[in-house]
Amino acid sequence: MKKKFAIVFAVCWAVLLGAGIGWKVYQNQGERGVFLVPRREHSVDDPVLYNQRDAGWSKDKLGDSPYTMGSSGCLTTCIASALSTQHKNTGAGREISPGELNQLFGESGVYNKSGDIVWEKVKEALPDTEILVASEVDPQEIEDLLDEGRYPIVKVKIGGNGASHWVAIMEAWDKLYRCMDPLDNSGHLISLNDHENVAYRMRCVYWAD
């Protein structure tokens, strides 16, 4: 009887383990992530931290889509943070809040019906910026952008294997990148290690010199 129970238990455990592994593979299929470790330190004196769920804009719609800043505005929030941080640290451009940026994007038709950003339209909303839509995540390009006072925005999986999410990389020290996470309300930069240091896509929007 004990032997039969042990066999049944082993089979059930194998099925559960296999299901768990399959779920992880499914969550990341079709996207190749790049593990990011900085080669040198980068500092930021005065990062501007925004939260997509701030009451000032959380209920605002993303253009004509049914989605809101609070539910789906992480990328817009990251762009606002990157531009505002660049301004405070280099004097380029100006500060801009996620609410203001979302309004500009809506007026300029930057969002499609699903609330995604149409990158070709961003220049119409922000004519004084440059837009980088990288074809792949390049670790060296991330370091170069930080050296220039520009802040790359990377797509991650929440916690390493959860839903897709965007964060803005601001600095690096102790062999870890520190980023502005628009879902974090601690008031501090967080470690990219919170998302397993893996990035799937990279964008950068910065004030032109």
Mean model confidence pLDDT for the chain: 89
Return the C-alpha torsion angle 76, 77, 78, 80, nearest 10: 90
pTM, two decimals, is: 0.86
The predicted structure's pLDDT at residue 56? 98
Would you call 82 helix, strand, or coil by DSSP? helix
Amino acid in position 24: K
Q: What is the mean pLDDT of residues 121-149?
A: 97
- Show Cβ contacts of residue 15 under 8 Å, excluding neighbours closer than 6 positions: none
Q: Is the pLDDT assigned to residue 25 strictly greater than 50?
A: no
Q: Is the pLDDT assigned to residue 4 strictly greater than 90?
A: no
205, β-bridge pairs: 131
Q: Is the pLDDT assigned to residue 15 strictly greater than 90?
A: no
Q: What is the mean pLDDT of residues 166-170?
A: 98
The predicted structure's pLDDT at residue 63? 98
* Among the listed residues 144, 138, 146, 131, the one whose alpha carbon sits nearest the alpha carbon of residue 178: 146
The predicted structure's pLDDT at residue 31? 77
Q: What is the mean pLDDT of residues 67-90?
A: 98
Q: At what angle do helices 74-90 and 98-107 cross, to 10 degrees?
A: 120
Cα torsion 195, 204, 150, 146: sign: positive
* Among the listed residues 83, 76, 84, 44, the one whose alpha carbon sits nearest the alpha carbon of residue 189: 44
| DSSP conformation class of 193 | G
Q: What is the mean pLDDT of residues 79-89?
A: 97
Q: What is the mean pLDDT of residues 133-148?
A: 97
Q: What is the mean pLDDT of residues 57-77?
A: 98
Alpha carbon distance 9, 110 (integer Å): 54
Alpha carbon distance 108, 53 (integer Å): 23
Q: Is the pLDDT assigned to residue 2 strictly greater than 80?
A: no
* Among the listed residues 50, 51, 73, 54, the one whose alpha carbon sits nearest the alpha carbon of residue 62: 73
- 32-207 belongs to CATH 3.90.70.10: yes
Q: Is the pLDDT assigned to residue 208 strictly greater than 70?
A: yes
